[in-house]
Amino acid sequence: MFWSGAFCLFITIRYFAIGAEEGIAITDFSFAKLLKFGLYLGGLIGFLYAIVEFVFDKFVAKNLSLSIIIFLKFLVYLVGMILFLSIIYARAEVELDLNLSNDLGWWQQNQVFWLLVGYFIICSQVFTFIKIANEKFGQGVFFNFLIGKYRKPREERRVFMFLDLKDSTTLAEQLGHYKYSKLIQSCFYDLNRIIGRYDAEIYQYVGDEAVLSWTYKRGIHHNNCVKLFYKFQEIINKKEKWYLKQFGMIPTFKAGLHGGKLIVTEVGTVKKEIAYHGDVINTTARIQGECNKYEQSLLISESLYKTMYNLQKYDIKSIGEIPLKGKEELVKIYAVNLV
């Protein structure tokens, strides 16, 4: 979608800004027909771009320097541009009844081709910037920064999950800091594979702990906040042979769930981020801290549990009203297990 839009914009600019190209008046042709070629080219480039970025990020980036990666990507994209533009030129000749030069080596002296290459490089930088910003701040958070949504504190109703690795201190001693860090990295990579499927957002990582967040509606919709936890553990269990081979153990996690109203605001100047302030955060952390005491993997507050439906596939057991550190009132919590 990005690349189709980008090349349609390129055609729009040239359509209205350039009077003629190779002696042919562009304005004589249907604007809609020209946009169609922008969609064709954008679709082809977008498909190539997705494959190249995936392959380099997953298989190549770890083994080569940044300069070599940039050079190799440029070569792949250059060849792709030559191939795809040759296809587009051939189609444009037929549909628009033009005489375009597309012989072997046509691109070497073609000014439009090199203009497109320059335009591609600029758009690629824009796309990369947006991608990095989304990875840094979280999906959708960067857009909220741009529009200043949280410049002033806003009240929202959200669900939070504090997800923590069990026996983390013991594991760190056994594995050593390097191998332990690789373990956490692998676990959170598996977690990130499913957060979009359950409409979750990563609020922050704190050591071996991940803090996830949902809007209240999305969190309880289809029990997303509960399903994510067990899907995450399922993924880890499916990779048990790999984890045993790499680390000699299978990681298990514990989590606390709670929801309610809190304040969301933008903080910082040198390093900005979206911060959540309110009792919901502290209560969720305290609930997660009770998992070891009651030997449970997932604990949920009564206030959140009562707003959820269709939990028949789970075994819900009341732990009772318990005191939480820093809170005067007792909080009733439930243990959630798969049936």
Q: What is the separation, in whole angstroms, between the first and last Cα of the chain?
A: 42
**52-66, 107-121, 177-191: which has the minimum mean pLDDT?**
52-66
Whether 286 and 327 have beta carbons less than 8 Å apart is answered as yes
Radius of gyration (C-alpha) of the chain in whole angstroms: 26
* Calpha distance 117→334 (Å, rounded): 59
Report how far apart, in Å, the C-alpha atoms of 315 and of each of 63, 159, 221, 275, 312 are: 46, 21, 19, 34, 7
Q: What average pLDDT does this structure show over 10-38?
A: 66
Q: How many Cβ atoms from other residues are within 10 Å of residue 301's Cβ?
A: 23
Whether 264 and 298 have beta carbons less than 8 Å apart is answered as no
Structural domains of the chain, with CATH? 2-137 (no CATH), 141-338 (3.30.70.1230)
Q: What average pLDDT does this structure show over 168-180?
A: 91
The answer on pLDDT for 295 being more than 80 is: yes
Whether 315 and 337 have beta carbons less than 8 Å apart is answered as yes
More reliable by pLDDT, 90 or 238? 238
Angle at 44 between CA 26 and CA 53, to 5 degrees: 130
**19-23, 185-189, 247-251, 312-316: which has the minimum mean pLDDT?**
19-23
Q: What average pLDDT does this structure show over 198-203?
A: 91
Q: DSSP state, 249?
A: S
Residue with tokens 């930088």: 125
Q: For the chain, list the strands marked E by DSSP.
A: 20-21, 24-25, 154-165, 201-206, 209-215, 253-267, 273-277, 298-301, 314-322, 331-338
Rounded to the nearest 10 degrees, the angle between the axes of helix 177-192 and helix 168-175 is 130
- How confident is residue 22, by pLDDT bands cut at 50, 70 and 90? very low
* Calpha distance 218→222 (Å, rounded): 8
Residue with tokens 């005067």: 328
* Calpha distance 63→232 (Å, rounded): 28
Q: What average pLDDT does this structure show over 116-130?
A: 86
Tokens of 93: 């000749």
Q: Pairing mode, if any, of strands 24-25 and 314-322?
A: unpaired
Per-residue pLDDT at 24: 47
The answer on pLDDT for 23 being more than 60 is: no
Sign of CA dihedral 76, 79, 83, 86: positive
**Coil vs helix vs strand at 138:** coil
Q: What average pLDDT does this structure show over 306-316?
A: 90
At 327, phi and psi to the nearest 5?
-120, 135
The answer on pLDDT for 37 being more than 50 is: yes
More reliable by pLDDT, 195 or 148? 195
Q: Report the mean per-residue pLDDT for the chain.
A: 85
Whether 134 and 142 have beta carbons less than 8 Å apart is answered as yes
Report how far apart, in Å, the C-alpha atoms of 46 and of each of 34, 42, 123, 155, 170 are: 18, 6, 12, 39, 46
Q: What average pLDDT does this structure show over 72-83?
A: 87
Per-residue pLDDT at 100: 61
More reliable by pLDDT, 197 or 11? 197
pTM beyond 0.75, yes or no: no
Strand partners, 337: 315
Whether 117 and 178 have beta carbons less than 8 Å apart is answered as no
Closest to 229 measured CA to CA, from 159, 294, 180, 278: 159
Per-residue pLDDT at 280: 94
Q: Residue 213 burial by CB count (10 A; 0-12/13-18/19+): exposed, middle or buried?
A: buried
Residue with tokens 């009844």: 97
* Calpha distance 121→118 (Å, rounded): 5
- How confident is residue 287, by pLDDT bands cut at 50, 70 and 90? very high
**125-139, 165-179, 200-214, 274-288: which has the minimum mean pLDDT?**
125-139
- How confident is residue 238, by pLDDT bands cut at 50, 70 and 90? very high
Whether 44 and 7 have beta carbons less than 8 Å apart is answered as no
**Coil vs helix vs strand at 120:** helix
More reliable by pLDDT, 69 or 25? 69
